Amino acid sequence: MKNAKPNRVKAKGLDVGTSFINCAENRGKRVNFRAIRNSFFDIENTNFTKRMLQRTGINYIKRDDRLYIIGDEALEFANIFNKEARRPLSGGAVSPREKEALPLVEVLIKSILGRANHKREPIAFSVPGEPIDAKLNLTYHKTVLSETLSRLGYAPKPINEGLAVIFSELNDKNFTGIGLSFGGGMVNVCMSFMAAPVFSFSISKSGDWIDDQAAMAVDETNSKVCAFKEANLDLSKTKGLSRMEKALSIYYRNLTEYVLRHLKKKFENTKEMPELKKPVDIVIAGGTSLPKGFLQLFNRMLKRVKLPHAVGKVKMAGEPINAVANGALISAIAEETKE
């Protein structure tokens, strides 16, 4: 006889990324995702600007004498004023030095999550792996997010970003494989065996780094490069490339190779590696992996780097942008059911 299914648990998954904050919550069997661009643009708080924002329905936060426009509109405003929009997270984590940004992150999280459905509603939030090429205060990041979520009535638990990708995409492989999340600020990598992380790390170069480098190469603003990248970039194209396409392709290749070389190193240096009988699958998620042809480029680089263990299938996540939040949600529900 089949066991009776446990009552559906209400839970949430949160992906706090450099570029987007994404929340997943279960609605029956399906999941609802809510995302907002993690950027802000500050303008002076005058009656006029305030009224104008209210009239046009643009979301803003008022703090001291500034108004902070948030989300996609922040980019639009930055364009109007020919300036760059600001990011509350630097290099993938809440920085102790960004005192101005911290309250904004809190408000954004609060607004995207809404109130907890019940007291101590489980929530899993993504945290980056230990960075191998940068100094990052992960404890601070984790504590700040944990405290914020607790204040909102949730029972927060951190989950590694790469592992979340595996939870979301590799259920048919018993959650064994490698998850890569190419975000805005970082690339997160995690190798998992039977849902248990074997190793994880993060790299502090990703989409923003590509934008920076390409912008410098073609003498354009980061925003323009980013807009082009998100709308038009095709990495499978080899002929008739514009200057911007050439620059972006070079830095995409460079980044992918850099990530794979570190992955190879990690494979070689991990002492307690489980005995893997089958080739491991790799799953890729994150906004930076969205351009057409990225998977082919990754495969080409993979052949060049040659990992010490056989690689099975390399695939893109079903919904690359939402995979981390989805994985976090799965983890939150499973943990709760277990308890």
Partner 1 sequence: MINLADLRAKDLEEFRALCLKAFKRLGYSVWLSEKLNGKASASSILLKNDERSLVQCSQDKGLVDISLIKDFCQDLKKKGIESGFFITTGVVRLADRAYLSSEPVDFIDAKKLPLFLETIFGEDGLKKEVSRGFERREFPRIDLRGIGEDKILWQANTFYGTTSPIKGEIADISSGGIGFESLDEIPVSSLLKLELFLYGSRQAVKSVARLIWEKPRGDSLAHNFGLSFFLIGDKDKERISDFIKSQLPPEPLDFTKSSLESNGASPEFLLKLLVEKNIIGKMVSGLHDRKSREVRRMSEVDIKKAENSIKRFFKKVVLKKCKILDLYKTATGWEALAKKIDDWFEKRGYREVYEKTIYLVRLDDKFKVLSYSKVAGNYIPKSGDLIVSPPIGTDKIREIVKEVAKEISGGNGSNIDQDTLKKIAAEAVDELEKRRKGENLWKKEDEEVAIKESYMSPLRELKIERNFGRIGKVKRGKKDIESQVDSLRGVKKGKHR
Chain residues binding partner 1 by CB under 8 A are 5, 8, 21, 23-24, 26, 29-36, 43-44, 46-49, 51-55, 59-63, 70-71, 79-82, 103, 106-108, 111-112, 114, 167-168, 171-172, 174-175, 194-195, 318-319, 322, 326, 329-331, 333-334, 337-338
Smallest separation, CB 279 to partner 1 (Å): 17
Contacts of 181 (CB under 8 A, 6+ apart): 161, 162, 164, 165, 187, 188, 285, 286, 323, 324
Q: How far is the CB of 79 from partner 1 (least distance, A)?
A: 7
Decide whether 103 or 293 has the Cβ nearer to partner 1.
103
Measured from the CB atom, the residue of 132 and 194 that comes closer to partner 1 is: 194
The maximal CA–CA distance of the chain, rounded, in angstroms, is 68
Q: How far is the CB of 171 from partner 1 (least distance, A)?
A: 4
d(CA 280, CA 310): 7
Rounded Cα distance between 317 and 29, Å, is 19
Shortest distance (Å) from residue 275 CB to partner 1: 15
74 vs 301 by CB, closer to partner 1: 74
Note the Cα 62 to chain centre separation in Å. Answer: 27
- Cα gap 203→297, rounded to integer Å: 19
The stretches of the chain forming alpha helices (DSSP H) are: 47-55, 72-80, 101-113, 138-151, 161-169, 207-218, 222-232, 243-269, 294-305, 323-338
- Minimum separation from the CB atom of position 73 to partner 1 (A): 11
Least distance CB 188 / partner 1 (angstroms): 19
Nearer to partner 1 by Cβ, of 76 and 212: the residue is: 76
Nearer Cβ to partner 1, position 135 or 275?
Answer: 275
Q: How far is the CB of 338 from partner 1 (least distance, A)?
A: 7
Q: What is the DSSP string of 74-116?
A: HHHHHHHTT-PPB-SSBTTB--TT-TTHHHHHHHHHHHHH-S-
- Identify whether the C-beta of residue 212 lies closer than 8 Å to the C-beta of residue 203: no
Nearer to partner 1, 187 or 283 (CB): 283
Q: Is residue 24 within 8 Å of residue 33, measured between CB atoms? A: yes
Nearer of residues 214 and 323 to partner 1, judged by Cβ: 323
| Dist. CA 197–CA 203, nearest whole Å | 17
